[in-house]
Amino acid sequence: MSRRASAALGRCLELEHVITGRFRSRSLALDDAVKLFDELLHNARPASVRAFNQVLTAGSRAQRRGSSSSSLELVPSLFNRMARACSNKVAPDLHTYSILINCFCRMGRLELSFAAFGLVLKTGFRVNARVINPLLKGLCDRKRVHEAMDVLLRRMPEFGCTPDVFSYNIILKGFCNERRAEEALELLHMMADDGGGSCPPDVVSYNTVISGFFRDGQVDRAYNLFHEINQKCLLLANQ
């Protein structure tokens, strides 16, 4: 290895260490993250993808705290720069695309989220619930719960992706937000009646539907569901 290549590798490792340390301590401010990103891009190696993902996540966290419109576009901009360099430096991985999809959903740009998801499929990654769940939330936020249900029950299995309890809870909340607690209850029972299979409901699932009934003014339905949960808990305790 030449002296120049050795120095570049040493600086790359140093930058990765700094980014990871500050990311874990949540002290990676947005301006510093961009500066570190710029320098890392010049010295990157394939394994640098982890540090890049940490910078992108820091940018996404800044969005959640409320930032300017120019800052909202930062994560896609950094992603594009990283993607252009991937041929000879570092390629985005599935986590990178997941961060990008989350970012677009928070920006309210659902069409760009699905475009990014298309890149995931084109690249050949095997998708998982972590990538698809933001799309489900984006659809539900747009009051397109039936489309989200289609993704959950039909498209995810086609992709070889098993929905997790977070996937179902997103849909349950979507139904309840549209004052459709009865449909949420049907989905809840479908989860519970799956023979204790891949995705039984959790406390959040039940609380979401109970809250939905209360919101709709169906107090009796809410109390009946609460009683149903208690009965199931007693049966489990006595087994």
Helix, strand, coil content of the chain in percent (nearest 5) = 75, 0, 25
Lowest model confidence (mean pLDDT) among 57-61, 138-142, 148-152, 217-221: 57-61
The string of DSSP letters for 20-58 reads HHHHHTT---HHHHHHHHHHHHHH--GGGHHHHHHHHHH
- pLDDT, position 118: 94
Task: Report the C-alpha gap between 52 and 160 in whole angstroms.
Answer: 28
Task: Report the C-alpha gap between 93 and 180 in whole angstroms.
Answer: 38
- pLDDT tens per residue, range 69-108: 456 688 999 999 888 876 678 889 999 999 999 999 988 8
| Whole-prediction pTM | 0.85
pLDDT at 28 over 60: yes
210 and 225 Cβ atoms separated by less than 8 Å? yes
* 114-132 average pLDDT score: 94
* 150-175 average pLDDT score: 94
**pLDDT, mean over the chain:** 87
Q: How many beta carbons lie within 10 A of that of residue 70, not counting itself?
A: 8
Residue linked to tokens 């190696």:
45
pLDDT at 218 over 90: yes
Task: Report the C-alpha gap between 4 and 163 in whole angstroms.
Answer: 48
